[in-house]
A = this chain, B = another copy of it.
Amino acid sequence: MNDRDALTVYATAFVDELAQNQIKDVVISPGSRSTPLALLLAEHPEIKIHINVDERSAAFFALGLAKAMKKPVAMLCTSGTATANYYPAIVEAFYSRIPLIVLTADRPHELRDIGAPQTINQIGLYGNHVKWFVEMALPESSMSMVRYARTVCARAVATAANEPAGPVHLNFPLREPLLPNLAEAKKYRQEKKQAAVAIEPGILTLSMNQLDAIAQEIGQAKRGLIICGDMKNDDIKGAVTELGEKLGFPILADPLSQLRSGQHSFANVIDCYDTFLRDEQVMDAFYPDVILRFGAMPVSKPLLLWLKKQQVENFVIDGGAGFRDPSGLATRMVYSEEERFCQDIVERLPENRDQGWLQRWVRVNEATKHALSSIRNEEELDEGKLFYKLNELMPEHSHLFVGNSMPIRDLDTFFFVNGKNVEIYANRGANGIDGIVSTALGVSTVKEKTVLVIGDLSFFHDMNGLLAGKLQGQNLTILVINNDGGGIFSFLSQASEKEYFEVLFGTPHGLDFSYTAQLYNTTYQKVQNWDEFSEVFTTSFSIPGLKIIEIPTNRESNVLKHRNLWSFVSREIASALNEEIQ
| A124 located at the interface, meaning its Cβ lies under 8 Å from any Cβ of chain B in the complex | yes
Q: Given A434-B81, A519-B519, A121–B128 Cβ distance below 8 Å?
A: yes
Chain B residues with CB under 8 Å of A503's CB are 42, 49, 51
New A-B contacts (14) at CB < 8 Å, excluding given A120-B430, A124-B127: A28-B504, A32-B492, A51-B504, A54-B460, A56-B56, A80-B430, A80-B432, A85-B434, A115-B296, A115-B322, A460-B467, A471-B509, A510-B521, A515-B518
Tell whether A84 pairs with B81 under 8 Å between CB atoms, given A30-B507, A497-B39: no
Name which of A88-96, A349-357, A563-571 contacts chain B.
Answer: A88-96
B-contacting 9-mer, from A106-114, A251-259, A360-368, A392-400: A106-114
Separation of A307 and B65 alpha carbons in the complex (Å): 47
**Complex formed: what's the CA distance from A520 to B515 in Å?**
9
Q: How far is the CB of A107 from chain B (nearest CB, A)?
A: 9
Interface positions, chain A 67-121, Cβ under 8 Å from B, are 80-82, 84-85, 87-88, 90-92, 94-95, 110-111, 113-121
CB-based nearest B residue for A110: B328
A518 to B28, CA, bound (A): 30
The number of times this chain is found in the oligomer is 2
**With A114-B328, A511-B467 as contacts: A127 and B125 at CB distance below 8 Å:** yes
A201 contacts chain B at the CB level, 8 A cutoff = no
CB-based contact A85/B56 at 8 Å:
yes
Smallest CB gap from A178: residue in B: B493
Instruction: Check B431 against A297 for contact (C-beta < 8 Å).
Output: no
Interface centre among A38, A54, A428 (most CB of B within 10 A): A54
Question: What's the nearest-Cβ distance from chain B to residue A567, in Å?
Answer: 25
Q: Is the CB of A91 within 8 A of B95?
A: no
Q: Does A336 contact B (CB under 8 A)?
A: no
Complex-state Cα separation, A227 to B85, whole angstroms: 33
Residues of B contacting A178 in the complex (Cβ-Cβ under 8 angstroms): 493-494
**In the docked arrangement, what's the CA distance between A461 and B353, Å?**
59
Given contacts A500-B39, A504-B30, contact A91 B120 (CB under 8 A): yes
- CB of A389 to closest CB in B, whole Å: 27
Residues in B with CB closer than 8 Å to A507 are 30, 51, 53
* Interchain residue pairs with CB less than 8 A apart (15): A28-B504, A30-B457, A30-B505, A39-B497, A51-B507, A80-B430, A80-B432, A120-B129, A127-B127, A178-B493, A464-B464, A511-B520, A513-B519, A515-B515, A515-B518
Of residues 461 to 482 in A, which have CB atoms within 8 Å of B's CB atoms?
461, 463-464, 467, 470-471
Q: Which residue of the partner chain, among B80, B88, B114, contacts A431 with CB atoms under 8 Å?
A: B80
Interface residues on A, range: 35 or more
Q: B residues within 8 A CB of A520? A: 511
Q: Is the CB of B111 within 8 A of A326?
A: yes
- Residue of B with least CB distance to A508: B471
A344 CB–B CB distance under 8 Å: no
Q: Quick check: A42 and B461 within 8 Å, CB to CB?
A: no
Smallest distance from the beta carbon of A233 to chain B beta carbons, Å?
17
Select one of B182, B464, B493 contacting A179, CB under 8 A.
B493
Residues of chain B within 8 A (CB-CB) of A513 are 519
A492 to chain B, nearest CB (A): 6
**A512 contacts the other chain (Cβ, under 8 Å)?**
yes
CB pair A32–B494 under 8 Å, yes or no, is yes
Q: With an 8 A cutoff between CB atoms, is A526 at the interface? A: no
Q: Which 3 A-B pairs have the closest CB atoms?
A: A81-B432, A115-B324, A515-B519
Beyond A120-B95, A505-B30, whether A461 also contacts B464 by CB under 8 A is yes
Is residue A177 within 8 Å, beta carbon to beta carbon, of the partner chain?
Answer: yes
The distance in angstroms between the C-alpha atoms of A389 and B84, with both chains bound, is 35
Q: How distant is the Cα of A434 from the Cα of B129 in the complex, in angstroms?
A: 22
Would you call A43 an interface residue if the criterion is a C-beta within 8 Å of the partner chain's C-beta atoms?
Answer: yes
Q: Is A3 in contact with chain B by the CB < 8 A criterion?
A: no
Question: Would you call B505 and A512 a contact (CB within 8 A)?
Answer: no
> A323: CB under 8 A from chain B?
yes
B-side contacts of A296, CB under 8 Å:
115
Least CB distance from A377 to B in Å reads 33
Residue A8 at the B interface, CB < 8 A?
Answer: no
- Residue on B with the closest CB to A457? B53
Q: Is A496 positioned at the interface, with any CB of B under 8 Å from its CB?
A: yes
CA distance A461 to B82 in the complex (A): 11
Q: Does A489 contact B (CB under 8 A)?
A: yes
Task: Kindly state whether residue A141 has any CB partner on chain B within 8 Å.
Answer: no
Q: Which residues of A123-143 are within 8 A (CB) of B?
A: 124-125, 127-129
Q: Does A554 contact B (CB under 8 A)?
A: no
Q: With the chains together, A181 CA to B558 CA distance in Å?
A: 28
Q: Scoring A residues 310 to 332 as 1 if CB is less than 8 Å from chain B, else 0, what string do you get?
A: 00000000000011111010000
Whole-angstrom CA separation of A454 from B450 in the bound complex: 36
A35 interface contact, C-beta 8 A: yes
Please pick, from B42, B324, B460, B497, the residue contacting A504 in the complex, using a CB distance under 8 A. B42
Residues of B close to A92: CB separation below 8 A: 81
Give the nearest-CB partner of A30 in chain B.
B507
A516 at the interface (CB under 8 A from B): yes
Residues of B within 8 A of A51 (CB): 503-504, 507
Nearest chain B residue, comparing its CB with the CB of A126: B127
